[in-house]
Amino acid sequence: MEHLLTVRDLKTQFDTPLGLVKAVDGISYNINDKEIVGLVGESGCGKSVSQLSVMQLIQTPPGKIVNGEVIFEGQDLMQVRSNSKEIRSIRGGKIGMVFQEPMTSLNPVLTIAQQMTETMKLHLQMEKHVAMKLAADLLDRVGIPDPETRLNDYPHTFSGGMRQRIMIAMAISCDPKLIIADEPTTAVDVTTQAQLLELLKEIIEKLNSALIIVTHDLGVVARYVNRIYVMYAGRIIESGTTKEIFGNPQHPYTVGLIKSLPRLDEPKKKKLTPIHGVPPNLVNMPTTCAFLPRCKNHTEECKKEPWPDLKLINGQHYVACYNYLETNQNEHLIK
Amino acid sequence: MSYTPGWIPELELTDKVIGSDTTLSRFISLSMGRKIVFVGMMIILVMIVLTIFAPWIAPHDPYKQDLSLSLQPPSSEYLLGTDKFGRDSLSRLIFGTRIAMFVGIVAVSIAASIGILLGLISGYYGRWIDQVTMRITDALMSLPTVVMALALAYLFGGGISNVMLAVGIAFSPLFIRVTRSQVLLLRETDYVTAARVIGASNLRIMFFHILPNTIPILIVLCTLQIGTAIILEASLSFLGVGIKPPGAAWGYDLRLAYEVIFRYPILSVVPGICITAAVLSFNLVGDAVRDALDPRLKGVLR
C-alpha cells in the first residue's frame, strides 16, 4: 500500500562548537491516509527536528539534512530546493503544522484575520472577503465564540488555549492532507489539553486527513493515536500499534516510560517507577546502544555490539533491542 | 496608610498610563504629564506652522539685500535687526525653520530607507551578505558622523538636496545596525517559523512578518535622529558645504553672525537658540514616543 508520507533513513545533524550533534540519526517511519500517529520521546531526542526536517525548515548552517528520503504523495521532498515554490506550496497547503508554544507562534503585531487569510490567499488564491468569511467559519469550527468580531483582534487578547485553537484553525485552513502537531498540548493546562486533542481528532475525521502528534507524554496520546513510534537519542527504538506498544512493550525504555505513568486502576500507594539516569549527550555518542547506561536488562552482548536495528517481532511491532523481553512477559501492564 | 510621594511626577503619570491602553492615548498622557515634553511638543508644533506658512508669517523678504540697512540693531521694523547684507534676521530665521525641518525629515527618511532595507537583508539572510554589510557599516561607523557628512557634502557639492543625501547616508549605518539587531532576534521567533510553515516567501516574511515588529524601535530612532540631523545640517552650513548662500539656513546665518559676534551678539545668539530648541524638542518628544510605544525599550536606545 502507498503511504501518505514515507520517511526513510532521515539524518539531520547540527555542527556545534562542541562537536557534531546527530539530532536525528537515520529514522524511518510512515503514515497512511486518515491515520493518527504518535511520535513519543524525551526532550532532546530529535522529535521536533525530525518534523522540521520533513518540512525542510532546518536552518543551514548550523543544521544539515545529510541523508534520507521524505516521500509525500509520491514526491521526494528532499529533492526540492528548501525555499523553492514547490516546497512552499506543500507547506501550509498540503501539510499543516501546529506548534508547541501558542504564546509565541502568532505574530503580535498582526491581527488574527491578517494571519489567517494569509495562508488562504497564498495557497487557494482567494479574494480577501472570501478568505475572511472562511476564516470566521474556521474560528467557529475550532470553538472561538463570536468569530467575526474576534477576527480583528490581536493575539494578546486571546488565552493560550484559544491561541492554540487559532493555530489549529490556521493549520487546517487549506484542507491539508497531513497535519503535524509538534507538542500541541505541552504549554496548556490539563483540561485544555484534552479539549484540544478532542478537537484535533474531530477535525481530522471531518477533513479525512492524517495527523502526526509529537509529544513526550505517552499518556496524553494513548487514546487518540493508532500507531506509536518511540524515539530515543535520535533513533526510533520501538514502533507498533497503540495496542502493541501499551499491551506488550518490548524495549526496556518503552517499558520504563509506561511504568512511569500514573494509573488510575492501580493502588494509590504504589510508587511510580522512574527511569534512572539522563538521556545521553548527543555529541560523541557511543556506537553501542544509547540506552545501555540506563538499561537494567543489558547483557555482555549489548556492550560489544553496535546499536541494534529495528527487528520485526509480531504484526506491525518493531523493536531495536538485542534481548527484548519475551512476548507477554509484561502482562501485568495490559489492561 | 497610603503613602503618596508627591515629589515624583512620574508616579502620578503611571496611574494614567495603566488606565489607557492605546499607544496614542499613552503618548498624549505622557506628554501632558511631563511639562517639559509638552513644551517640546509645542516647539515642534510652532516649527511645523512656521514651515508651512513661512511666506505669510515672515515680515520681510529673507533674500532681499540692502547694504544701506547693513547690521541694523533691533527695531520695530526689524525685530531682530539685520545681517551684514541688510537682510531681515527674523524673516531669515523663519525661513530657516523650513530648511531645518525639511532636511531633518528627508535626511532621516533617506537614512531609514537605506538602513531598514540593508538591515533586513543582512539580518535575515545572514552569512556572507551579513558579513559584507556589517564590515562596511563598521568601517563607516568608525568615522565621526560630522566628518563623513562633511566629506559627502563636499563630494556632492552642497545645496539642499545634496545636504539631505549626505546626512542621510551618514546616518544610515546606525539604522542598519538597529534594524539588523532586531531582525536577528525576530528571525528566530516561533511566528516566523510558523510563517515559513504556511509557505510564505522570504520577501513576505521579511516585510510582512518581521518589519512591523521592528517599527516601534525605528520610530523612536527616527524621532531622535531628526534632532541630530538638524544639528548636522547646521554644522555643514556653518562650515560652508551645506546650504548655498543666499539660502536662509540657521547654520549659514550663524556663520555670517560669527564674524561680528562681539559687536552684534544678538545675530549669533538667536539662531543658536533656534538650533538648540529644535534639537532639544525632538529629543524630548523622541523619549516620550519611546516610552509610549514600548516601556520595555527604556534604556535600550541612546
The verdict on a CB contact (< 8 Å) between A107 and B213 is yes
Instruction: Nearest chain A residue to B204 by CA: give it.
Output: A118
**Of B14, B8, B13, the residue nearest B33 (C-alpha):** B13
Report chain A residues touching chain B, CB-CB < 8 A: 55, 57, 83, 87-93, 96-97, 99, 101, 104-110, 118-119, 122-123, 167, 170
The verdict on a CB contact (< 8 Å) between B199 and A88 is yes
Per-residue pLDDT of chain A (335 residues; tens, 9 = 90+): 578 888 888 888 888 888 888 888 888 888 888 888 988 888 778 888 888 888 888 777 778 888 888 888 878 877 777 677 777 888 878 888 888 887 788 888 888 888 888 888 888 777 888 888 888 888 888 888 888 888 888 888 888 888 888 888 888 888 888 888 888 877 777 788 888 888 888 888 888 888 898 888 887 778 888 888 988 888 888 888 888 888 888 888 888 888 877 777 767 777 777 777 777 777 777 777 888 778 777 777 777 777 777 777 777 888 887 776 654 455 444 43
Report the gap between the CA of A280 and the closest CA in chain B (Å): 26
In a domain, B186, yes or no: yes
**CB < 8 Å to A170, chain B:** 194, 198
Q: Which residue has the cell 529673507?
A: B62
Q: Which residues span the domain enclosing B162?
A: 23-297
Average per-residue pLDDT for chain B: 83
**CB < 8 Å to B189, chain A:** 104
Instruction: Quote the CA–CA distance of A117 and A129 in Å, as a whole number.
Output: 9
Q: How confident is the model at residue B13 (pLDDT cuts 50, 70, 90)?
A: very low
In a domain, B247, yes or no: yes
Instruction: Quote the CA–CA distance of A121 and A179 in Å, as a whole number.
Output: 19
* CB-closest option in A87, A92, A105 to B190: A105
Find which of A296-305, B134-143, B186-195 is predicted with most confidence, using mean pLDDT.
Answer: B134-143
In a domain, B9, yes or no: no
- Strand-pairing partners, residue A96, are A179
Interface of B with A in 67-106 (CB under 8 A): none
In a domain, B2, yes or no: no
Report the gap between the CA of B216 and the closest CA in chain A (Å): 10
DSSP annotation of B270 reads: H
For residue B226, give the C-alpha cell: 531628526
Q: Which residue has the cell 525530525?
A: A50
| Chain A contact for B9 (CB, 8 A cutoff) | no
DSSP-assigned states of every residue in A280-309: PPSBT--SS-TTGGG-SS--HHHHHSPPPP
| Chain A contact for B131 (CB, 8 A cutoff) | no
In a domain, B133, yes or no: yes
In a domain, B18, yes or no: no
**CB < 8 Å to B184, chain A:** none
Residue B79, CB-side half-sphere exposure with 13 Å CA sphere: 9
**Of B44, B54, B151, B166, the residue nearest B103 (C-alpha):** B166
Instruction: Nearest chain B residue to A62 by CA: give it.
Output: B127
Higher-scoring residue by pLDDT: B182, A23: B182
Structure confidence at residue B295 (pLDDT): 55
Query: Of B182, B197, B207, which to mutate for an interface test with A (greatest number of A Cβ within 10 Å)?
Result: B197
Q: How confident is the model at residue B296 (pLDDT cuts 50, 70, 90)?
A: low
**Of A261, A299, A285, A301, the residue nearest A40 (C-alpha):** A261
In a domain, B10, yes or no: no
- Strand-pairing partners, residue A22, are A13
The verdict on a CB contact (< 8 Å) between A88 and B201 is yes
> Quick check: bond before A61 cis, omega within 30?
yes
**Which helix (H) or strand (E) element contains residue A25?**
strand A19-31
For residue A316, give the C-alpha cell: 506491525
Q: What is the CATH number of the domain that holds B34?
A: 1.10.3720.10
Interface of B with A in 227-256 (CB under 8 A): none
**CB < 8 Å to A167, chain B:** 194
Residue B163 has pLDDT above 70, yes or no: yes
Structure confidence at residue B107 (pLDDT): 93
In a domain, B8, yes or no: no
| Chain A contact for B187 (CB, 8 A cutoff) | no
Q: Give the list of residues 6+ apart from residue A176 with CB closer than 8 angstroms, or none.
A: A92, A93, A94, A95, A96, A207, A209
**Domain architecture of chain A: domains with CATH:** 5-225 (3.40.50.300), 232-333 (no CATH)
* CB-closest option in A57, A93, A105 to B191: A105
**Of A91, A18, A16, A2, the residue nearest A53 (C-alpha):** A91
Report the gap between the CA of A104 and the closest CA in chain B (Å): 6
Instruction: Nearest chain A residue to B189 by CA: give it.
Output: A104
* CB-closest option in A57, A89, A108 to B193: A57
Q: Is A315 left (phi over 0), alpha (psi -120 to 50) or beta?
A: left
**CB < 8 Å to B196, chain A:** 57, 91
When computed from its CA atoms, the radius of gyration of chain B, rounded to whole angstroms, is 23
Question: Total structural domains in chain B?
Answer: 1
Structure confidence at residue A41 (pLDDT): 83
